Amino acid sequence: MANDNKMLGQFSLVGIPPAPRGVPQIEVTFDIDANGIVNVSARDRGTGKEQQIVIQSSGGLSKDQIENMIREAEKNAAEDAKRKELAEVLNQAESIIHDTESKMTEFADQLPKEEAEALKKKIEETKKLLANKENEKPETIKESVSALQQQSLKLFEAAYKKMAEKNAGGSSDAQEAKTAEEPKKEKN
């Protein structure tokens, strides 16, 4: 996990305009040469802003330190796997909540109020689980996220069908008008 890593240095990529989550495209490159020198660069694809840092090796770890770290990692492998699973479940849950809320805002006028309110309640339930993540099992969060996905899928599917019917109705009127305008061919 990242919090178990040793801090080598830090820098900030500044000058990125505010944007919704997932919009900025940041390209990060890590390069470690044979001498242990670490080159890190980050570039915002949208603005072209770039920042980099070079970190000189401050002396490596001794053989004993390395062996101790390996033993600790092996001893804690099961706990690390649980932490990793929880982190992945939390990331997925936060992403699904964010996407669902964004789509609810985008299509608010096309969603049935009652079902939209029920989905908002489900989002709040899931957020409460995430806020209490240390005391929740990953399976409990997965189940809540799965139920949220199913509920959101049903709601947006119904909204999509409603929009498709509305558009189909408009396009059939346009087709009838076009047919009425076309001259009829006479048979000889």
State the pLDDT at residue 122. 96
* Amino acid at residue number 23: V
Spatial separation of the C-alpha atoms in residues 156 and 151, rounded to whole Å: 9
Asked if the model's pLDDT at residue 177 lies above 50, the reply is: no
pLDDT tens figures, 5-51: 777 777 777 777 888 777 888 899 999 888 778 898 999 888 888 88
Domain boundary assignment for the chain: 2-57, 77-178
Q: List Cβ neighbours of 144 (8 Å cut-off, separation of 6 or more).
A: 93, 122, 125, 126, 129
Fold observed for domain 77-178:
Substrate Binding Domain Of Dnak; Chain:A; Domain 2 (1.20.1270)
Q: What is the DSSP letter of 112?
A: -
Contact 13, 44 (CB under 8 A): yes
Helix (H) or strand (E) holding 151: helix 138-181
Spatial separation of the C-alpha atoms in residues 91 and 93, rounded to whole Å: 5
Domain 2-57 superfamily per CATH: Substrate Binding Domain Of DNAk; Chain A, domain 1 (2.60.34.10)
More confident residue, 1 or 132: 132
Q: What is the DSSP letter of 46?
A: T
Same fold across 2-57 and 77-178: no
In the chain, the percentage of residues whose pLDDT exceeds 90 is: 35
Helix (H) or strand (E) holding 96: helix 77-106
Dihedral sign (CA 93, 95, 97, 103): negative
Rounded CA Rg of the chain: 27
pLDDT tens figures, 63-110: 898 899 899 989 999 999 988 999 999 999 999 999 999 999 988 888
Spatial separation of the C-alpha atoms in residues 168 and 170, rounded to whole Å: 5
Q: List Cβ neighbours of 158 (8 Å cut-off, separation of 6 or more).
A: 112, 115
Alpha helices in 107-137 (DSSP H): 113-131
State the pLDDT at residue 174. 46
pLDDT tens figures, 134-152: 888 899 999 999 999 999 9
Q: What is the pTM of this model?
A: 0.63
